A and B are shown apart, each in its own frame.
Chain A
């Protein structure tokens, strides 16, 4: 497969231009670049979701032009999206045949085909399990199978490892090697360099929407790759000296939270969560998403009322105070999903600057808004936090993810919080903005800010935190010292395989294993 001179002008900051890539059959070809470099756009072009403005795509020497994903599938190209496209309430079999009923029917023949593919590539898919009962890694394998079922010979995987813990990543890579061995081609999009180097045969680096280099893993190092990606040296999240004081800023004790699901069944999402964050301390929470981190944040922010336990901020019991009071009392919040919780997408930037701080200066004078001051302060944030925008009247939706995040970060920091809750603060943010946000968290920490950091990026967690806790099924099951722990060791606690105090050991057996049978029986 060859792509030549692909150019796409596109709303947003980065457009593709002059992309040249050659992908060989039967290889794993990695496409790396920082977030927002244009990788996903390129893949959408390849998969027929978008048409390039210029350039040609050739497959096996034939020039092709895709008008829709159906055209791409017909040419044997399949895509596994970053966000899975599965119906939870259907079985694996039903999900796989959905939309492909004509291929092998929906009955025994389809099941046989699924099992055949599953065995052939070592996917281990069980056709009759409901998708909602599957874990993230299993769902991903179903997605891969879905694509193979439709006869794909070239698979595009968009950031497949973003949702996986290290052990699952290894399993995925084994699957990819099987696919390769069978003569399939895999295009692997990622910005995690270690992974790329371990699995790819060829690597193409994209920067600012264009291809800047093609390398082979044997001849490069993560550092060189990183420099190609950003055009300069990669920033590191390493925190230098400790600034932890003994003043307790946030204290959570015995926090318990239950929610009722759609059927009205009570489910415990947080159980006996206790933690303390001091002034000048960054406490990192590791965990696979969906293990209660989001609920913990919402309980501390006051968006959910805890069923038990206390939350104390700077000596004041805030367990049941409204969100607004907590914000006024000095909690800053960088939400996990900035589009849903952090921004008014169709409102101008200056209105977004007011959001969440409408009662505070400079946004309000008494009960009235102070539009002039709010606008002026928005200008200041845009300049100080390097938000790339033509002005403050444009809507938040027209900014790129990194710039939206910089605006949110600037807004929250402008009110000098005592505690900052940062949920995935650099997710979907380019490397430049990432370094800037890390720097600012470090600076604020130096000045006595307490930070609750939740992240899926284990390097970020280990690099920024003064202390680490692991969350699993609504409990804090393990703690670790970020100075010595490795991502792999953290990863095993995240899957529930280890608990207690994790210590680094040189032979790879990771953490102190404690018997977990009693706890497991309780939570299931």
Chain B
């Protein structure tokens, strides 16, 4: 039994390691093709990435990435492809910024209100896709990606002078949040860490706990593994689809919060976009596992941080984008390979162990 557990662990680690090694190999070939030295590039990245200011930057960057990956992973565990996390977090952050900008309450009230508004808006937006899937049978991939576009249009409409935004130079943004809604930071050198790191860790833990330790989580995973078995087992698949979309959207609502409450204090035309798609890549890389996704989010931050430095060394900065893309592709392939291999390996082991048991009892029968 121990042997099988050990194998499970090795196989679990094998997939991402395999993927990253393969990705490094492919990227090296690409860098070589541009006539540059790949080893030097990696050294530059490792050196720059390990500087203390880089570390802070990477962690702060990883926080929203991680939250985004969690939002995507909730869907993945259900076999739902919530491609609309991007639209969900943006529209959530926008309305949270509007509400926050209109209120002046003490921080202990104001901050939770802003976060709750964001989560509500995110889940409503995702819930639309869930309802369409259960009532009309529309694939969530289609609806969520279209809702992304609609979210962008809605934000674009309101983000104008005289509607819900104010003009500030060339930019439009929602009224600034009062100082009471500034989120706390963790004082570190040379720059402070975003206090939302704590929230991200808590959400990661809740994700793990709900999925693995509650009845609800079991039902959710059951649907993800086999819809037919879940239905026969008494799970209402329809209701589960809506519920998990709502949860996924609520988690998506958190993605914009570190930026809104920690640095921008408003939602403007320069609010970061695309984190929802990054989350898909990170959830894939981290195998929907809370720790795996944390590592993947940090890796992503590392690549982005060090990519800028490559430019100074006369490398194409796009090489980082290539690397990220290659990693995701390698990950998908590697996981599938390792999964199939693991299943076969286990079947063989079970067969062998049982055969050994059978031989033993047979011998015992003969000798007695």
Closest to A391 in B: B1
Given contacts A335-B232, A341-B232, A367-B214, contact A393 B5 (CB under 8 A): yes
State whether A358 touches B215 (Cβ < 8 A). Answer: yes
**Nearest Cβ on chain A to B174's Cβ, whole angstroms:** 39
Residue among B216, B346, B351 with the highest chain A CB neighbour number at 10 A: B351
B179-227 at interface with A (beta carbon < 8 Å): 212-219, 222, 225-226
Given contacts A390-B353, A390-B354, contact A347 B232 (CB under 8 A): no
Task: Tell me whether B104 is interfacial, beta carbon within 8 Å.
Answer: no
Residue in contact with B347 in the complex, picked from A12, A344, A356, CB distance below 8 Å? A12
State whether B231 touches A323 (Cβ < 8 A). Answer: yes
Contact with A along B328-362 (1 / 0, CB 8 A): 00000000000000011011111101110100000
Residues from chain B with Cβ under 8 Å of A358 in the complex: 215, 218-219, 222, 233-234
State whether B215 touches A347 (Cβ < 8 A). Answer: no
Task: Tell me whether A324 is interfacial, beta carbon within 8 Å.
Answer: yes
Closest to A399 in B: B350
Task: Tell me whether B4 is interfacial, beta carbon within 8 Å.
Answer: yes
Task: Tell me whether B228 is interfacial, beta carbon within 8 Å.
Answer: yes
Residue in contact with A369 in the complex, picked from B5, B215, B226, B353, CB distance below 8 Å? B215
Residues from chain B with Cβ under 8 Å of A15 in the complex: 351, 355
State whether B343 touches A395 (Cβ < 8 A). Answer: yes
Residue in contact with B350 in the complex, picked from A340, A357, A398, CB distance below 8 Å? A398
Given contacts A354-B218, A359-B215, A390-B1, contact A303 B231 (CB under 8 A): yes
Taken together as a complex, chains A and B put the C-alpha atoms of A492 and B350 apart, in Å, by 44
Closest to A337 in B: B228
B28-71 at interface with A (beta carbon < 8 Å): none
Taken together as a complex, chains A and B put the C-alpha atoms of A13 and B212 apart, in Å, by 31
**Nearest Cβ on chain A to B306's Cβ, whole angstroms:** 37
Taken together as a complex, chains A and B put the C-alpha atoms of A13 and B169 apart, in Å, by 74
Given contacts A345-B226, A367-B216, contact A301 B232 (CB under 8 A): yes
Interface residues on A, range: 35 or more
Task: Tell me whether B236 is interfacial, beta carbon within 8 Å.
Answer: yes
A315-362 at interface with B (beta carbon < 8 Å): 322-328, 333, 335, 340-347, 351, 354-359
State whether A347 touches B233 (Cβ < 8 A). Answer: no
Contact with B along A359-391 (1 / 0, CB 8 A): 100001001110100000000000000001111
Residues from chain B with Cβ under 8 Å of A391 in the complex: 1, 4
B298-345 at interface with A (beta carbon < 8 Å): 343-344
Task: Tell me whether A394 is interfacial, beta carbon within 8 Å.
Answer: yes
Task: Tell me whether B109 is interfacial, beta carbon within 8 Å.
Answer: no
Taken together as a complex, chains A and B put the C-alpha atoms of A5 and B5 apart, in Å, by 36
Task: Tell me whether A10 is interfacial, beta carbon within 8 Å.
Answer: yes
State whether A13 touches B354 (Cβ < 8 A). Answer: yes
Residues from chain B with Cβ under 8 Å of A399 in the complex: 350
Closest to A344 in B: B225
Task: Tell me whether B102 is interfacial, beta carbon within 8 Å.
Answer: no
Residues from chain A with Cβ under 8 Å of B291 in the complex: none
Closest to A403 in B: B354
Task: Tell me whether A397 is interfacial, beta carbon within 8 Å.
Answer: yes
State whether B228 touches A340 (Cβ < 8 A). Answer: yes
State whether B343 touches A356 (Cβ < 8 A). Answer: no
Closest to A347 in B: B225
Taken together as a complex, chains A and B put the C-alpha atoms of A11 and B354 apart, in Å, by 11
Residue in contact with B343 in the complex, picked from A342, A351, A368, A397, CB distance below 8 Å? A397
State whether A367 touches B215 (Cβ < 8 A). Answer: yes
**Nearest Cβ on chain A to B125's Cβ, whole angstroms:** 27
Task: Tell me whether B235 is interfacial, beta carbon within 8 Å.
Answer: yes
Residues from chain B with Cβ under 8 Å of A301 in the complex: 232
Closest to B232 in A: A341
Given contacts A322-B234, A327-B234, contact A368 B215 (CB under 8 A): yes
Residue in contact with A390 in the complex, picked from B214, B226, B350, CB distance below 8 Å? B350
Residue in contact with A343 in the complex, picked from B4, B218, B229, B353, CB distance below 8 Å? B229
Given contacts A344-B226, A394-B346, contact A324 B1 (CB under 8 A): no
Residue in contact with B351 in the complex, picked from A13, A342, A393, CB distance below 8 Å? A13
**Nearest Cβ on chain B to A346's Cβ, whole angstroms:** 6
Taken together as a complex, chains A and B put the C-alpha atoms of A10 and B348 apart, in Å, by 7
State whether A369 touches B225 (Cβ < 8 A). Answer: no
Taken together as a complex, chains A and B put the C-alpha atoms of A342 and B235 apart, in Å, by 13
Taken together as a complex, chains A and B put the C-alpha atoms of A439 and B143 apart, in Å, by 52
Residues from chain B with Cβ under 8 Å of A322 in the complex: 234, 236
Residues from chain A with Cβ under 8 Å of B226 in the complex: 340, 343-345
State whether A303 touches B351 (Cβ < 8 A). Answer: no
Given contacts A358-B218, A394-B4, A397-B347, contact A323 B232 (CB under 8 A): yes
State whether A389 touches B350 (Cβ < 8 A). Answer: yes
Closest to A12 in B: B351
Taken together as a complex, chains A and B put the C-alpha atoms of A406 and B225 apart, in Å, by 21
State whether A13 touches B355 (Cβ < 8 A). Answer: yes
Residues from chain B with Cβ under 8 Å of A323 in the complex: 231-236
Taken together as a complex, chains A and B put the C-alpha atoms of A358 and B213 apart, in Å, by 11
Taken together as a complex, chains A and B put the C-alpha atoms of A33 and B231 apart, in Å, by 35
State whether A303 touches B1 (Cβ < 8 A). Answer: no
State whether B234 touches A324 (Cβ < 8 A). Answer: yes
Taken together as a complex, chains A and B put the C-alpha atoms of A367 and B217 apart, in Å, by 10
Closest to A327 in B: B234
Taken together as a complex, chains A and B put the C-alpha atoms of A394 and B350 apart, in Å, by 8
State whether B235 touches A324 (Cβ < 8 A). Answer: yes
Residues from chain A with Cβ under 8 Å of B357 in the complex: 388, 390
Residues from chain A with Cβ under 8 Å of B347 in the complex: 11-12, 397-398
A383-438 at interface with B (beta carbon < 8 Å): 388-391, 393-395, 397-399
**Nearest Cβ on chain A to B112's Cβ, whole angstroms:** 24
**Nearest Cβ on chain A to B1's Cβ, whole angstroms:** 4
Residue among B5, B228, B349, B350 with the highest chain A CB neighbour number at 10 A: B350
Closest to A326 in B: B234
A451-484 at interface with B (beta carbon < 8 Å): none
Residues from chain B with Cβ under 8 Å of A345 in the complex: 225-226
**Nearest Cβ on chain A to B171's Cβ, whole angstroms:** 47
Residues from chain B with Cβ under 8 Å of A394 in the complex: 4, 346, 350
Residues from chain A with Cβ under 8 Å of B218 in the complex: 351, 354, 358, 369
State whether A371 touches B344 (Cβ < 8 A). Answer: no
Residue in contact with A342 in the complex, picked from B5, B232, B348, CB distance below 8 Å? B232
Closest to B236 in A: A322
The 8 closest A-B pairs by CB, nearest first: A324-B234, A11-B347, A356-B233, A341-B232, A398-B350, A323-B234, A391-B1, A390-B353
User: Which residues of A are at the interface with B, using a C-beta cutoff of 8 A?
Assistant: 10-13, 15, 301-303, 322-328, 333, 335, 340-347, 351, 354-359, 364, 367-369, 371, 388-391, 393-395, 397-399
12 more A-B residue pairs beyond the given contacts A11-B351, A358-B215, A368-B214, with a C-beta to C-beta distance below 8 A: A13-B350, A13-B355, A303-B232, A323-B235, A326-B234, A342-B232, A344-B229, A347-B225, A351-B218, A371-B213, A389-B350, A398-B346
Q: Write 19 A-B pairs (CB below 8 A) sorted by A numbering.
A: A11-B348, A13-B350, A301-B232, A324-B234, A325-B234, A328-B234, A341-B228, A342-B229, A344-B226, A345-B226, A358-B222, A358-B233, A367-B215, A367-B216, A368-B213, A390-B349, A393-B4, A398-B347, A399-B350
